[in-house]
Each structure stands twice: as C-alpha cells, then as structure tokens.
C-alpha cells in the first residue's frame, strides 16, 4: 500500500469548549475508531490507517492537549466525562451507529471503557492496549517524581523514555523530545495534574465499572511493559465479562510503535467474530 493515504474527511469539530480535529478514511461497513494515549496524537495510528483502510472505515482524532486540538475556554484540564463526550461527538459526526470497534492505547482505554459502558448498543468490540486497573510502583514513582521537582519539559520527556520507552525507534524518541520541548509551562502543568489525578483515582473501578462492558473485549499487554503489570491486566480481564488477554512478546508499553508487526495481531482479532 502507498506510504500515505488521503482522508475522505479532514476537518474540525466544536465540542463544548474544545476544537477537535479528526480524519475519516476508507469506506468499509465496519468502523474502527482509535483513541490516543496521553500526550500522543492521531499520528500514532497512521500505520493502522495504511494497513486497514481498504477494508474498514477508520476514524482518528486528537483530544485536547494532543496534536492540534485546542481548548478555547476554561482550564486545560479535562474531566473523564468531557473526554467521553468528545469521543461521542466524533462518532456521531462521522455517522457511526453500528459495527463499531474501538481501539485504544494506555489512558485511551479508560475513555473507551467508559464509552462502552454508557453506549452498550453501539460498540461491538474493544481492543485495549497497555491498560491496567491501577498505577504500578514504577508509574507511581515516576508521577511522584514529576510532581515534586521543578523539571522542565525536556527532562520530563527524558524520564518517560528512560522509564518505559527504551525500545521505541530513535525517530519516535526524537518526536517525543521535540513535542515536550515545545510544550508551554501551562501545558506541562496540565500533564502533571493528570498524573496526580491518576494517582488519586488509584483504581479503575473508581472511574468506570468495567463489569458493565457487554461487548467482546481484547486486552493487549506487552511482556516488557514496565508501568503496567501483567497480573493487573489479568485481573482486569477477569472483571470484564467477555474479555481475553493477549501477551505480546518482545514489546513494551508502546506496542505497535515499537514493532509494527503487531498489526498482524490486530488483523487476526479483527478477522474473528464479535
């Protein structure tokens, strides 16, 4: 397939106090909507667009504090309710009402799970990567360090890479460093406050009741993930009625960004029945 694919729709959406850029690719009956992890952008899914747009409708977008999304009023911080509202608005804007699979990375899984609980009739399948129920000791230490010291954005990026992004390709490491160096002090503080919020919630059950997820759910866990424990992912799988966990060898928290052969795993999942 060509190195790049042009979107059918490339536009912005006004949602409450936010401006949300989104893209729609492909014309399949089945739709894939992707949710980024914290401080990532929709660009992280371009390999999926190239791989799957011939057979699926694909939607990618940026949440506020990601990519080119904007907060036009109020604080930079977003509540989980607001993030789910953004996802709902994007899905409505492209006219998806059935045959929907939501794919998420890391924190995006919390948004995906919340949406699936609120709209059980719309979601056929969840594929949630690098998601657990609570911060492990490594992540807790990382967040605590970041909130107690006067780190600049570049130092924060270096700490993130050293803690759980060691196996990322050099080009992606450079992009992360560039992204953080370009952050304003206000943006950095919003990022830190999100980390504090994650620690305060402590357990996913305090944010969303995953036992109410009705659709088929696949949890993907990289065996080298240092901030999400395998036992915690197994526990999460035990709480979701129709779920299974797949451990992916040789990769860490960033999964397909570390090795794009992981798309073959998604290919198998998507080919399986709901």
What is the rounded average pLDDT of the residues 100-118? 96
Angle between helical axes of 185-201 and 153-164 (0-180°, round to 10)? 40
What architecture (CATH level 2) is domain 9-134+204-271? 3-Layer(aba) Sandwich (3.40)
Query: pLDDT: is 75 or 92 the higher one?
Result: 92
Give dist(CA 43, CA 62) in Å, integer.
Answer: 9
Structure-token pair, residue 86: 């953004």
The structural domains of the chain, with segments of one domain joined by +, span 9-134+204-271
**Considering the entire predicted model, what is its pTM?**
0.93
Average pLDDT over residues 94-100: 89
Confidence of residue 14 (pLDDT cuts 50, 70, 90): very high
Rounded-to-integer distance, Cα 183 and Cα 5, Å: 29
Query: Bridge-partner residues for 60, per DSSP?
Result: 23
Cβ atoms of 248 and 265 closer than 8 Å: yes
The span from the CA of 58 to the CA of 151, in Å, is 38
User: In whole angstroms, what is the distance from residue 20 CA to residue 117 CA?
Assistant: 23
Is 150's pLDDT higher than 70?
Answer: no
> Is residue 147 pLDDT above 80, yes or no?
no
Q: How far apart are CA 29 and CA 56, in angstroms?
A: 6
pLDDT tens-digit map of 218-260: 999 999 999 999 999 999 999 999 999 999 999 999 999 999 9
What is the number of other CB atoms lying within 10 angstroms of the CB of residue 89? 17
As a whole number, mean pLDDT of residues 138-152 equals: 75
pLDDT tier at 156 (50, 70, 90 boundaries)? Answer: confident
pLDDT at 81 over 50: yes
């Amino acid at each position: 397939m060509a190195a790049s694919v042009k979107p059918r729709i490339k536009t912005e959406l006004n949602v409450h106090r936010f401006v949300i850029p989104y893209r729609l690719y492909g014309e399949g009956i089945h739709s894939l909507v992707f949710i980024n992890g914290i401080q990532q952008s929709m660009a992280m899914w371009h390999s999926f667009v190239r791989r799957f747009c011939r057979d699926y409708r694909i939607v990618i977008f940026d949440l506020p504090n990601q990519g080119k999304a904007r907060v036009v009023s109020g604080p930079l911080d977003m509540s989980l309710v607001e993030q789910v509202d953004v996802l709902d608005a994007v899905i409505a804007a492209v006219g998806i009402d059935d045959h929907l699979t939501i794919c998420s990375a890391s924190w995006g899984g919390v948004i995906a799970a919340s949406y699936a609980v609120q709209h059980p009739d719309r979601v056929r399948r969840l594929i949630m990567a690098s998601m657990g129920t609570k911060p492990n000791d490594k992540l807790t230490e990382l967040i605590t360090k970041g909130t107690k010291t006067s780190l600049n954005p570049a130092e924060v990026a270096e700490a993130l890479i050293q803690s759980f992004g060691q196996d990322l390709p050099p080009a992606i490491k450079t992009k992360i460093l560039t992204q953080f160096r370009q952050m304003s002090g206000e943006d950095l503080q919003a990022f830190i406050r999100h980390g504090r919020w994650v620690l305060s919630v402590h357990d996913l059950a305090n944010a969303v009741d995953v036992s109410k997820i009705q659709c088929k759910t696949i949890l993907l866990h990289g065996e080298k993930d240092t901030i999400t424990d395998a036992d915690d992912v197994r526990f999460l799988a035990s709480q979701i009625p129709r779920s299974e966990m797949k451990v992916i060898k040789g990769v860490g928290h960033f999964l397909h960004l570390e090795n794009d052969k992981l798309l073959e795993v998604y290919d198998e999942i998507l080919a399986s029945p709901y």
